[in-house]
Amino acid sequence: MKTKTILTTLTLTLVFGVSGQKAVNEITFTAINDSSYIQLDSIKIINHTHGGDTVLHWPDTVLSLYQVGLNEINKGGKCLQVFQNYPNPVKDLTTIRIYVPERQNLRLHLTDMLGHNIIESQILLDKGYHTFQFVSGNSQIYFFTALSKEGMGSSSIKIINGNSQQKRLCSLEYQGEDINMPELKSSKATKALFYFYPGDILYFIGYTDTLQSGFVDAPDTNKTYTVQFATNIPCPGTPSINYEGQIYNTVQIFSQCWMKKNLNVGIRIDAPLPQTDNDTIEKYCMGDDPMICDIVGGLYFWDEMMKHNTQTGGQGICPPGWHIPDDLEWQVLEGNVDSQYKTGDSEWNQNNWRGSDAGGNLKQTGNTYWEVPNTGATDKFGFTALPGGYFVQNQFWGPGYKALFYTSEVGLNYFRNIRFDKAQIERGHGGGGLAISVRCIRN
């Protein structure tokens, strides 16, 4: 009996405001499993940059996304309003804007996720828009509230700190009145809308039956996305690639296509010779043994991996058509493979050990290369992570115990750590001084 093929499309309507005029862009979604179209039950959209989410259910598929913060304000607005900070998550400092409907005293509160008061202050503000600059500390999540002392209401936002291991004190400084703040439609007119700011990064998470498949993008024009639900198969159309004389098999893990093994490219140099900024890719092999590079790949410092080019999501030493995954692409992978915390869950914004079993589901099974106990190893999705170890301060460490992978995140040098004795996966940063493994993801 022939399987029925169903082509499913879900459409987002993006409405952008530019100099008072509006242009409509449509995003259409289709769903496939391998190469066969399947029923796409729904799509969840999460604004990673500014917060907020919505769900499209088949067949009710049209959503208007109004770009805000550039050209719209309600001059007759009667409500106190705190706008979502930008950027969010915070990497260093961020901007918070407040609309005050009439001259009044405000009480400003900043608390952490446990409810502890971090900052509390009072300020008299005139009617209009006002800007504050916030420097984050070491809490992962903050809540900022502006409360009217004249009984005219309150407004709050949640701030996500993407650099929570930074040891510093929080600060909140008033920057002044924002006379150029553009207009925002009244809340009544936009109550049911999903807001979109220029350059915002959105999570798209497709659902069909019991499966989900996520990916991220920053849409700015008409586009069609194909949500892929196949996993642990060679990437359709690209089962392998030949790069610098070596064959790399590929693996499709839902809507992402990854190399199935660590990169092993460049000229091997002996430790402790440095990897330098030249026209030659240089690598270390664990124990200075080239045969180990053939198994677990080379070890590269962050600068060498990026070819000394600081561009998040850049190609680096990956082949054409591929790039070094950024932090969000790793978060998508983690959510796609974890059995408990799925794509878009705030769990993946945290540092240190996170998730339930994502690390185990990415590890090669057995103890040929991994040390006992190789906790939770299933290699369920074909990623086949191997413990390549690392090189630091002129010494090699961790073969058999750790699989470490860099992201291309500029400034923070985020990396992922998969260990022999854990099923979780660690997100750390500041690891640019380690030479570790590299995986590439297809553009």
Name the least confident of 15-29, 135-149, 237-251, 362-376.
15-29
pLDDT of 233 over the 70 cut: yes
Distance CA 232, CA 254 (A): 8
Domain identity same for 144 and 263: no
Q: Burial level of 41, CB count in 10 A (0-12/13-18/19+)?
A: middle
User: What are the tens digits of pLDDT across the range 423-437?
Assistant: 999 999 876 789 999
Domain identity same for 303 and 217: no
To the nearest 10°, report the CA torsion of 387, 391, 395, 399.
Answer: 0
pLDDT of 76 over the 70 cut: no
Is residue 289 included in any domain, yes or no? yes
Is residue 279 included in any domain, yes or no? yes
Distance CA 153, CA 354 (A): 37
Q: What is the total count of domains within the chain?
A: 3
CA angle 296, 302, 303 (to 5 degrees): 130
The two tokens of residue 399 are 């073969």
Is residue 190 included in any domain, yes or no? no
Strand 81-82 relative to strand 211-217: parallel, antiparallel, unpaired?
Answer: unpaired
Q: CB neighbours of 59 closer than 8 A, spacing ≥ 6?
A: none
Going by pLDDT thresholds of 50, 70 and 90, the confidence category of residue 256 is very high
Contact 425, 414 (CB under 8 A): no
Is residue 288 included in any domain, yes or no? yes
Q: CB neighbours of 250 closer than 8 A, spacing ≥ 6?
A: 234, 235, 238, 239, 240, 241, 257, 258, 259, 260, 442
Domain identity same for 410 and 390: yes
Concatenating the DSSP letter of every residue in 175-224 gives EEE-TTPPP---HHHHTT-EEE-TT--EEEEEEETTEEEEEEE---S-EE
Number of H helices, E strands in the chain: 5, 32
Contact 304, 281 (CB under 8 A): yes
What is the average pLDDT score of the chain? 84
Is residue 188 included in any domain, yes or no? no
Domain identity same for 210 and 251: no
The two tokens of residue 230 are 């196949």
Name the least confident of 64-68, 104-108, 137-141, 159-163.
64-68
Grouping H, G, I as helix, E, B as strand and the rest as coil, residue 272 is coil
Is residue 2 included in any domain, yes or no? no
Q: CB neighbours of 323 closer than 8 A, spacing ≥ 6?
A: 313, 314, 315, 316, 408, 440, 441, 443
Domain identity same for 246 and 298: yes
Distance CA 267, CA 137 (A): 42
Query: Which of 333, 337, 243 minimizes the C-alpha distance to 297?
Result: 243
Domain identity same for 247 and 369: yes
DSSP character at residue 341: S
What number of residues does the chain have? 443
Domain identity same for 31 and 176: no
Domain identity same for 278 and 168: no
User: What are the tens digits of pLDDT across the range 181-231?
Assistant: 444 433 333 333 566 776 788 889 999 988 999 999 988 777 888 999 999
Domain identity same for 215 and 151: no
Given this model, what pLDDT does residue 13 score?
57
Given this model, what pLDDT does residue 4 score?
33
Structural domain including 147 reads 81-181
**E strand or H helix that includes residue 98:** strand 93-100
Going by pLDDT thresholds of 50, 70 and 90, the confidence category of residue 69 is very low
427 vs 346: which has the higher pLDDT: 427
Report the CATH number at residue 103: 2.60.40.1930
pLDDT of 71 over the 60 cut: no
Domain identity same for 42 and 54: yes
Domain identity same for 145 and 291: no
Given this model, what pLDDT does residue 19 score?
36
**E strand or H helix that includes residue 225:** strand 223-228
Strand 154-160: give its sheet, edge to edge: 117-125, 104-112, 141-148, 154-160
User: What is the value of pTM for the model shown?
Assistant: 0.71
Is residue 189 included in any domain, yes or no? no
Calculate what percentage of the chain has a pLDDT beyond 90: 51
pLDDT of 364 over the 90 cut: yes
Report the CATH number at residue 63: 2.60.40
Going by pLDDT thresholds of 50, 70 and 90, the confidence category of residue 3 is very low
User: What are the tens digits of pLDDT across the range 121-168?
Assistant: 999 999 888 999 998 888 888 889 998 876 667 888 888 887 766 667
Going by pLDDT thresholds of 50, 70 and 90, the confidence category of residue 87 is confident
Query: Which of 316, 349, 313 minimizes the C-alpha distance to 331?
Result: 349
Domain identity same for 17 and 110: no
Is residue 117 included in any domain, yes or no? yes
Q: What are phi and psi of 293, to 5 degrees?
A: -60, -35
